[in-house]
Amino acid sequence: MEMSWFSLERLVDPGTRLGALTLLVVILVLSGVACSITTRLIKRPRWVIGKLEQKVDETVMRYILRFKNLIIFIVAGFFYASLVPGLRALVSTMMAGAGITALVIGFAAKSTLANLISGLSLAVYRPFRIGDMVDIEGEYGKIEDITLRHTVVRTWEHKRLVIPNEKLDNMSLINYSIVDPRILCRIEMGVSYDTDIDLARRLIIEEAKACPYRDENAEEPWVRVISHGDFSIGVRLYLWVPDVDNAWLARFTLLENIKKRFDKEGVEIPFPYRTLVYKKDLPPPRRDEPENLVSV
């Protein structure tokens, strides 16, 4: 009597398609459970990472846990291949030609391996951490996540910028949070040549001191004359703020408040003047008469 398509023997025999599929599901479930259990054990207060939790930032923690999960699934994959007869023969063949196999895998997964190694480099040297505010090639945002392959940046427009770790490892960026989040905010403006510089400076500083976004524990704001332009005197306000977000808010607020204060006090913010002269209105060109020659 022939064995039915679905039977207990087929279900537990890895040599059959049904048995291989069942074994795959079981190993995947067990791998997921192993990842969850080991993550909880590693983060327990009595374990090493638990004891160092205050010293190990979230960036390193996430990378360690993800790398641990990757190792678990790789081991589970080899274990599954060793139990399935068809895959066992394939693995044996690949191990026999280990050099060629490594070369082929290296070329095929070059990008993935490069991103993995770059991610490890970012986690070790930490040019930025999860939660840092950065400027990457003109995109300002917050580091939201660092995975084994890529880094996710949430921009100020609430978009997600996904950058491969290999590319990010070779890029220059501005990190506003890595050492001291304070920012020296600079705001430039111009006043007319008829303006009393001391009056303009006093008005600007008064508005800067009243700004709700400045760092009250830092140095008082100050103003410097920076240029003598074609039609205006350039001045620059220096103002300490707690972080880059407050720098943007302070800039927007002060530009508006200073303009209103200048209007109230009669201080002119000049703009370029141009005088247009039509060609028909130009006087006729002068023609010098030749000098009279005097004969002797």
Residue 46 has pLDDT above 60, yes or no: no
Pairing of strands 222-228, 139-146: unpaired
Strand order in the sheet with 222-228: 183-191, 233-241, 222-228
Q: First and final CA of the chain: distance in angstroms?
A: 148
C-alpha 91/C-alpha 83 separation (Å) is 11
What pLDDT, on a 0 to 100 scale, did the predictor assign at position 1?
A: 41
C-alpha 9/C-alpha 156 separation (Å) is 59
C-alpha 94/C-alpha 87 separation (Å) is 10
Under DSSP, the state recorded for 132 is -
Asked if residues 163 and 119 have their Cβ atoms less than 8 Å apart, the reply is no
Asked if residues 211 and 204 have their Cβ atoms less than 8 Å apart, the reply is no
Lowest mean pLDDT among 54-68, 203-217, 260-274: 54-68
When pLDDT is averaged across residues 158-185 and rounded to a whole number, the result is 88
Contacts of 230 (CB under 8 A, 6+ apart): 272
Asked if residues 101 and 124 have their Cβ atoms less than 8 Å apart, the reply is no
Give the model confidence (pLDDT) of 103-120 as tens digits: 555 555 567 778 878 877
C-alpha 62/C-alpha 39 separation (Å) is 10
Domains of the chain: 8-108 (no CATH), 126-175 (2.30.30.60), 183-265 (3.30.70.100)
Closest CA to 267 of 211, 189, 210: 189
What pLDDT, on a 0 to 100 scale, did the predictor assign at position 288?
A: 62
When pLDDT is averaged across residues 153-168 and rounded to a whole number, the result is 89
Which of the pair, 1 or 109, is modelled with greater confidence? 109
Give the model confidence (pLDDT) of 203-239 as tens digits: 999 999 999 999 988 899 999 999 998 888 999 999 9
Quote the strand ranges of the chain, DSSP E.
Answer: 133-136, 139-146, 150-155, 160-164, 173-175, 183-191, 222-228, 233-241
pTM (two decimals): 0.60
